[in-house]
Structure formats: structure tokens, C-alpha cells
Amino acid sequence: MKITDVVIRMAKGASKVKAFAVVTFDNDFTVNAFKVVEGPNGLFV
């Protein structure tokens, strides 16, 4: 499986969620549920 597309949207407002991501694999399978969150040790997905 190869990543064929990535879309990142920045989150609005002051919260720990910094961005949302949509990742497409092989132009066929899309995952819409990625969040980039700020934690005590930095950013994580």
C-alpha cells in the first residue's frame, strides 16, 4: 500500500486539536479520522 494523497486542514480556535488529516492509499482506500493533537511531549497523531 502506498499513500497517494494527503489533505491537512488546520483546526480553528484554541484547543489541543491542531489539525485534521485525510489520507488516501492506492487511490482507493481513504481514512478520514486523523487528528493532530498537542500533548505534553509535543504533537502526535
Bridge-based pairing of strands 17-25 and 29-39 is antiparallel
For residue range 1-45, what is the model confidence (pLDDT) as tens digits? 999 999 999 999 888 999 999 999 999 999 998 999 999 999 999
Q: 3-44, which class in CATH?
A: alpha beta
Say if strands 29-39 and 42-44 run parallel, antiparallel, or are unpaired. Answer: antiparallel
Question: What pLDDT score was predicted for residue 17?
Answer: 95
The amino acid sitting at 25 is: F
Tally Cβ neighbours within 10 Å of residue 21: 15
Q: Give the DSSP letter string of 1-16.
A: --EEEEEEEEPPSSSS
What are the residue boundaries of the structural domains of the chain, listed by start?
3-44
| pLDDT score recorded for residue 6 | 96
Task: Provide the residue type at 35 as one letter.
Answer: K
Taking the complete model, does pTM exceed 0.95, yes or no? no
pLDDT at 24: 97
